[in-house]
Amino acid sequence: MKPTYLALNFAPSVELLRPIRLFVTQFFQHLLGEGPDCERLELATQELLENAMKYCHDGETRLRVAVSPLARGAMVSVHTRNAAAPANIARLERTVNALMDGDPQDVYLRILGAADEGGGLGLARICAEADLELIVEVVDGDVDIRAQGRVEHLIEPAERVAPAAAPEAEPASASGSFTATITPSSRASDSGTYNLH
Residue from 12, 75, 93 nearest 46 by CA: 12
pTM for the full model?
0.77
Residue from 171, 13, 54, 58 nearest 21 by CA: 13
For residues 189 and 118, the model is more confident at 118
Residue from 111, 77, 82, 79 nearest 94 by CA: 111
For residue 10, pLDDT beyond 80: yes
For residue 180, pLDDT beyond 70: no
The CA distances from residue 4 to 11, 52, 64, 146, 187, in Å, are 24, 23, 11, 16, 31
Going by pLDDT thresholds of 50, 70 and 90, the confidence category of residue 173 is very low
Going by pLDDT thresholds of 50, 70 and 90, the confidence category of residue 39 is very high
Q: What is the CATH number assigned to the segment(s) 4-164+175-182?
A: 3.30.565.10
Query: Across the strands, what pairs with 121?
Result: none
Q: What digits encode the pLDDT tens for the residues 91-144?
A: 888 888 888 887 888 888 888 887 666 678 889 899 989 999 999 999 999 999
Going by pLDDT thresholds of 50, 70 and 90, the confidence category of residue 12 is confident
- Chain centre to alpha carbon of residue 65: 9
Residue from 12, 95, 8 nearest 50 by CA: 12
Taking a C-beta distance cutoff of 8 angstroms, is the pair 44, 129 a contact?
no
Residue 171: the pLDDT is: 45
